[in-house]
């Protein structure tokens, strides 16, 4: 178990990187606490797998240091780092039994037979694999196989962290939540540092205590799932998290109010003050679920045209236009949906301001 620290980590797949865009990881400085469940979230190509491979040692970063509990491990190969990694698809030794698969990392490290048997049995117990120990690993279902690859990591008692690289991609949907719950259980039971890479926000938000959102080789925000949802620090966080993502409207500031194409939207006092200090192009951002939808004109209401209504089951998504800007609003089930014309109200406390794509702070 270990605290993981990144000190100015940067990586490029090119031998001689020049432009910032040559870097898969731009510059990462962060600290992950021992025993935390972290999710690395981001779209494909944002550098999350690269960062994971830097942690595991499968990749040597171009610059910077990785520290485990304060010890520099940057130069250590993966087998010396005591980490476990679970890959996108189950990686098994096909010709071996489940027992031999689980015992393999111990065998390679010269553990004696009795210790090996004891450890393998313990891990099999945790993962509900005891009844399969004597079976061939190749014949099992995808979720059992994924548990075996996880078990190969857990079998070493001193494992520093368990890394998951989109481990549920090949698992049937109905087994996904079971396996995810199993991971949670293991986390609570063993107090291991878990790092989970995914592009699926639902997975990240349900799994992790802390979500690390990455975008174009940089960490844009680290926070609890609520934090990411309520206080996106970057425009990207706003529209990546949430379905649909945050609404953005280019605006100007006028005292306490934001002006969007001549329409006045009131802001919270604090927000307006921060906005006044910020430099760069201002944008107003609000989550679809925070927008109030009214069928008749209300105080501070903005008149919009309704373009489409999408029924999502427990709620409806309204697509509306305001002077050519698209605004999406979420209407709970049972709430009347106006036709063609509606008035939207932006609760000032929920309305955020962004300057040059970053939240004003």
**Binding footprint of other proteins on the chain (CB under 8 A):** 56, 58, 77-79, 83-85, 87-89, 91, 93-97, 99-100, 104-105, 108-109, 134-136, 138-139, 149, 152-153
CB-nearer residue toward other proteins: 135 or 350: 135
CB-nearer residue toward other proteins: 109 or 181: 109
The burial class, CB within 10 Å (0-12 / 13-18 / 19+), for 222 is middle
CB-nearer residue toward other proteins: 156 or 345: 156
| Number of other CB atoms surrounding residue 314 within 10 Å | 8
Q: How far apart, in whole angstroms, are the C-alpha atoms of residue 80 and residue 131? A: 31
Question: Structure tokens of 61?
Answer: 């970063």
Q: Minimum distance between the CB of residue 167 and other proteins, rounded to whole angstroms?
A: 11
CB-nearer residue toward other proteins: 94 or 339: 94
Q: Minimum distance between the CB of residue 94 and other proteins, rounded to whole angstroms?
A: 5
- What sign does the CA torsion over 233, 238, 239, 243 have? positive
Q: Minimum distance between the CB of residue 212 and other proteins, rounded to whole angstroms?
A: 22
DSSP 3-state assignment of 297? Answer: coil
Q: How far apart, in whole angstroms, are the C-alpha atoms of residue 200 and residue 344? A: 30
Contact (CB, 8 A) for 255 and 272: yes
CB-nearer residue toward other proteins: 113 or 335: 113
Q: Minimum distance between the CB of residue 26 and other proteins, rounded to whole angstroms?
A: 24
Q: Minimum distance between the CB of residue 313 and other proteins, rounded to whole angstroms?
A: 37
Q: What is the DSSP string of 10-62?
A: EEESSSS--SGGGEEEEEEEEEE-TT-EEEEE--TTSSHHHHHHHHHTSS--S
Q: How far apart, in whole angstroms, are the C-alpha atoms of residue 321 and residue 156? A: 57
CB-nearer residue toward other proteins: 84 or 212: 84
Q: Minimum distance between the CB of residue 103 and other proteins, rounded to whole angstroms?
A: 10
The percent helix, strand, coil of the chain (3-state, each to 5) is 30, 35, 35
Q: Minimum distance between the CB of residue 290 and other proteins, rounded to whole angstroms?
A: 42
Q: How far apart, in whole angstroms, are the C-alpha atoms of residue 318 and residue 195? A: 36
CB-nearer residue toward other proteins: 56 or 247: 56
Q: Minimum distance between the CB of residue 154 and other proteins, rounded to whole angstroms?
A: 12
CB-nearer residue toward other proteins: 46 or 84: 84
| Number of other CB atoms surrounding residue 61 within 10 Å | 22
Which ranges constitute the DSSP H helices of the chain?
48-56, 98-108, 113-126, 142-154, 173-190, 201-207, 225-230, 235-240, 269-277
């Amino acid at each position: 178990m270990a605290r993981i620290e990144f000190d100015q980590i940067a990586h490029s797949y090119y031998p001689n990187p020049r432009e910032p865009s040559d870097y898969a990881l731009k510059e990462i400085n962060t600290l992950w606490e021992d025993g935390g469940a972290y999710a690395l979230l981001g779209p494909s190509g944002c550098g999350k797998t690269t960062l994971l491979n830097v942690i595991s040692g499968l990749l040597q970063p171009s610059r910077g240091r990785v520290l485990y509990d304060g010890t520099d491990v940057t130069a250590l190969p993966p087998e010396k780092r005591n980490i476990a990694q679970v890959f996108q698809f189950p990686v098994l030794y096909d010709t071996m039994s489940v027992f031999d698969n689980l015992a393999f990392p111990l065998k390679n490290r010269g553990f004696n037979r009795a210790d090996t048997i004891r450890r393998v049995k313990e891990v099999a117990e945790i993962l509900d694999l005891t009844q399969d120990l004597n079976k061939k690993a190749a014949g099992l279902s995808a979720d059992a196989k994924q548990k075996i690859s996880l078990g190969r990591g857990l079998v070493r008692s001193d494992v520093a962290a368990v890394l998951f690289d989109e481990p549920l991609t090949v698992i049937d949907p109905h087994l996904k939540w079971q396996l995810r719950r199993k991971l949670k259980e293991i986390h609570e039971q063993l107090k291991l540092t878990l790092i989970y890479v995914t592009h699926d926000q639902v997975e990240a938000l349900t799994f992790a205590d802390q979500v690390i959102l990455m975008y174009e080789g940089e960490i844009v925000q680290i926070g609890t799932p609520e934090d990411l949802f309520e206080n996106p620090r970057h425009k990207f966080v706003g529209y990546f998290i949430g379905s649909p993502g945050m609404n953005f409207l280019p605006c100007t500031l006028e005292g306490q109010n934001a002006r969007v194409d001549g329409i006045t939207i009131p802001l919270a006092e604090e927000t307006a003050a921060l906005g006044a200090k910020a430099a760069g192009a201002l944008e107003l951002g609000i989550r679809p679920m925070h927008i109030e939808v009214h069928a008749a004109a209300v105080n501070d209401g903005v008149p919009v045209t309704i373009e489409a209504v999408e029924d999502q089951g427990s709620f409806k998504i309204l697509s509306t236009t305001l002077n050519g800007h698209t605004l999406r609003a979420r209407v709970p089930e049972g709430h009347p949906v106006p036709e063609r014309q509606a008035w939207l109200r932006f609760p000032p406390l929920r309305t955020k301001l962004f300057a040059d794509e970053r939240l004003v702070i």
